[in-house]
Amino acid sequence: MAIKVSEIFHSVQGEGQWAGTPSTFVRLSGCNLRCVWCDTPYASWNPEGEIMELDDIFASAKHRHVVLTGGEPMLFTESVTLSERWRKDNRIITIETAGTIFQDIHCDLMSISPKLSNSTPTSDAKWSKTHEERRWNPEVINKLTKNYPYQLKFVIGPEVTKDINEVEALLSQLEDINPEQVFLMPEGRDSSSLWSRAKELIPACMSHGWRIAPRLQIDLFGDTKGT
């Protein structure tokens, strides 16, 4: 059994509740969305990588925490097989997904990043329509949050108020969401713009009980592949 892998690397988790935790990242290549600000186009718009045997992917885990990311790892049944093997090996598994596809998979944290309308690639007619039809799927997200420990991470763009209003509207369509597991994550490619936008998110987090998600990988390493 084999699958296309964009990259495998070892670093600290940059985002969400396990930020700072040493982890092995396995990035699968291929995505069903095309976010305009995608920071991993080599796993989405232009999927790159090599076909690897699952045995070799499994053996690459050097840390107790393993993060299966993409692209969209829930597209692939091989993700389920990998998660079964890591579970038997006592690994702590995070799945990073946009929350548009459900699979019965092993994980300790379902890290869901539903995409707002700020992600839609308006200048690409074909992908604009397809992305818009796929990006928000409350039925799938409700199923994921009921079946797994979860966090919800929303990427907030320059139009902060509009995006926060959209987050409120989307969350109202979901069931039994713990606000402490909702993270607002500024969009940006450099540390200073990230933190300046993060300051604008404080009032919404204070009033709703949400959290601001750092992006440690950008603070520590810049906008660099393999971090």
CB of 71 to ligand SF4, least distance (A): 5
Residue 153, CA distances (Å) to 108, 144, 212 in order: 16, 14, 9
Q: Count residues near ligand SF4 (CB under 6 A).
A: 12
Query: Which residues, 6 or more positions from 184, have their beta carbon under 8 angstroms from its beta carbon?
Result: 154, 156, 164, 167, 201, 204, 205, 210, 211, 212, 213
Tell me whether residue 8 or residue 85 sits nearer to ligand SF4 (CB atom).
8
In the bound state with ligand SF4, the residue whose beta carbon lies nearer, of 6 and 181, is 6
| String marking each residue 72-111 x if it binds ligand SF4 according to CB under 6 A | x-------------------------x-------------
In angstroms, rounded to a whole number, what is the distance separating the alpha carbons of residues 198 and 184? 8
Q: Please select the residue that binds ligand SF4; options are 26, 28, 35, 116, rule is CB under 6 A.
A: 35
Cβ atoms 173, 142 nearer than 8 A: no
What are φ and ψ of residue 34, in 5° steps?
Answer: -140, 70
Q: Nearer to ligand SF4 by C-beta: 19 or 38?
A: 38
Residues in contact with ligand SF4 by CB under 6 A are 31, 33-35, 38, 40, 43-44, 70-72, 98
